[in-house]
Amino acid sequence: MRNLRIIFATLLSAACGVALAQPLPSGPSGYKPKEAAFGKHFMVAAANPLAVEAGRAVIARGGSAVDAAVAVQMVLNVVEPEASGIGGGAFILHWSAREKRLRVYDGRETAPAEATPDLFLDAAGRPMPFFDAVVGGRSVGTPGLLAVLALAHQHHGKREWGELFEPAIELADRGFPVSPRLAILLERERFLANDPNARRLYYREDGKPRSEGEVIRNPELATTFRTIAMQGPSAFYTGEIARDIVRAVRTHPTNPGYLSLADLAGYRPVERKPVCGRYRGNRICGMPPPSSGGIAVLQILGILENFPMASVAPQSLMAAHLFSEAGRLAYADRDLYVADSDFVAVPMRGMIDPAYLAKRAELIHLTESLGRAAPGVPPGAARPSPAGSPERISTSHFSIVDAEGDAVAMTTTIEYAFGSRIMVRGFLLNNQLTDFSFAPEEAGRVVANRVEPGKRPRSSMAPTLVFDRSGALKYVLGSPGGSLIINYVAQTLVALLDWEYSAQKAVSVGHFGSRNGPTELERGTEAAGLARGLGLLGHDVYVMDMTSGLHAVERVPGGWRGAADPRREGSAAGG
């Protein structure tokens, strides 16, 4: 029936001059195309070639996927400081090929014990302007990155902890050239130079930011890494480093925060159960709350399961319409129900229940947009107030498969670009607390994602593993991009599983989707050419930049193939 309705809608649209099913060329213009990498035994795909090489070298010496993840992350802290680092947090999915076991590690930051629900309200009780909240100590949560990496390394590491810091220490000591992306972000940045430590590192004496190709040395970070390499993560969470972090947060000159030594010493990563579902016979697994990413990706796919997407021309108007409508429905549920499940009852099973998603799919009209979708009532749901937060575009993701077939999908962040703009001992601190809802109540009801002591703010990060019908690992992927991450990952999965794109082609296509607002199309891509047709279907269209940073690994005959998003500076390498 769906096939017949789509054929009818296609004929109808042709009569109206709307090319619903005409396929478009794919890929963003203005970016240099990238070639996929092949590795017979292992593969690393990450946001910077120096980080990729560090991970590749670790595996080549007999290291595990987690060993490589530690090395990759530390190098990213040096060369991509705006996105992630030890001052932030991460989510890790780990697959053990020998045990056939998937484990999920939550290293999300937590709110300080002194934080209150009105943390981001001004003196009049109104939500603060975003940057007034971000810049300074108020936005800093307890960093979880080192703790979660240490936990994963304890379970899955093969090489010594300290050895994994060596590539990053060498780069920080001898220096690295400013990448094009870092140069652009520094040029646009308004607040970072106000921090004296960051100003000395990233700006010249005349106050201008460092240019592309200039070499930056970060000996302070090298010293910090040496201490953590020798003494372990406890050197970060207690002692002099911890005291410096707390001092910087609590004595910020314009916006002090509440992080304490007790918060740092008491931080613990959490091992959680993955959230998994089926799509076209494949098993898709992702991150559960406090991330909304895993649930929302599965909701989009579960809704699209009710449409023959393989019969819809890739990158066509019909594809964009259906995908955007599914996104509206998923984001509507996300915004209402998802927050830290240690504090809020999240109806995870009900939200991804196939019968519930089939009912949601019935709301989609093939020739007319829903507009703004209302949340549904999944089985087991209560009805808290919407949990909105201004989650912004930053973060990094890497995908790794080692020589044993074990895999890591890790999404890592300090939240907004350059985080809180506070630099301590060579690294930047996060502004993760601004991922909470600024308003603790709405229409007289408590908001699910409000600030509470010890709580983890909601995220959209969506590290993802895909297994085929036999249970074999098929894809490892994820992306940065704030709340856009969900659409980036879901669209990539449709391209891989419905349209049978290669991983490199799938991460390169022009983006489209909706976060239950306007239908967003990627500027500079063929997807932007769908604007008129979507408008005729009732979509409110917004053409915008979408700098995803998808990094994927796919199983292919004879080995693994790695793919890096052409929108960023990443690469892939195997062996």
Alpha-carbon gap, residue 60 to 56, rounded angstroms:
6
Altogether, the residues listed in the chain come to a count of 575
DSSP secondary structure letter of residue 23: -
Phi-psi region of 254 (alpha: psi -120 to 50; beta: other; left: phi over 0): alpha
Alpha-carbon gap, residue 82 to 76, rounded angstroms:
9
Alpha-carbon gap, residue 194 to 488, rounded angstroms:
34
Catalytic residue among 395, 411, 492, 519: 395
Alpha-carbon gap, residue 511 to 488, rounded angstroms:
7
Residue 397 amino acid letter: H
In order of 201, 202, 256, the CA distances from 206 in angstroms are 13, 12, 28
In order of 188, 274, 292, 538, 549, the CA distances from 477 in angstroms are 29, 15, 16, 33, 10
Give me 122's structure tokens.
């001004």
Number of H helices, E strands in the chain: 19, 23
* Contacting residues for 335 by C-beta, under 8 A, at least 6 apart: 375, 386, 387, 388, 516
Alpha-carbon gap, residue 172 to 11, rounded angstroms:
60
Contact criterion met (CB below 8 Å) for 339 and 448: yes
Put the strands of the sheet holding 519-522 in their side by side order.
512-514, 519-522, 541-544
Alpha-carbon gap, residue 58 to 71, rounded angstroms:
8
Mapped to the 3 state alphabet, what secondary structure does 141-201 carry?
A: CECCHHHHHHHHHHHHCCCCCHHHHHHHHHHHHHCEECCHHHHHHHHHCCCHHHCHHHHHH
Does residue 395 have an active-site annotation? yes
DSSP secondary structure letter of residue 497: H
User: Of 166, 495, 171, nearest to 310 (Cα)?
Assistant: 495
User: Of 285, 278, 280, nearest to 475 (Cα)?
Assistant: 285
In order of 2, 196, 429, 564, the CA distances from 422 in angstroms are 54, 9, 6, 30
User: Of 71, 74, 37, 73, nearest to 54 (Cα)?
Assistant: 71
3-state secondary structure of 385: strand
Give me 493's structure tokens.
């999965």
Give me 494's structure tokens.
């449709």
Alpha-carbon gap, residue 331 to 400, rounded angstroms:
29
Contact criterion met (CB below 8 Å) for 414 and 122: no
Residues with a catalytic annotation lie at 395
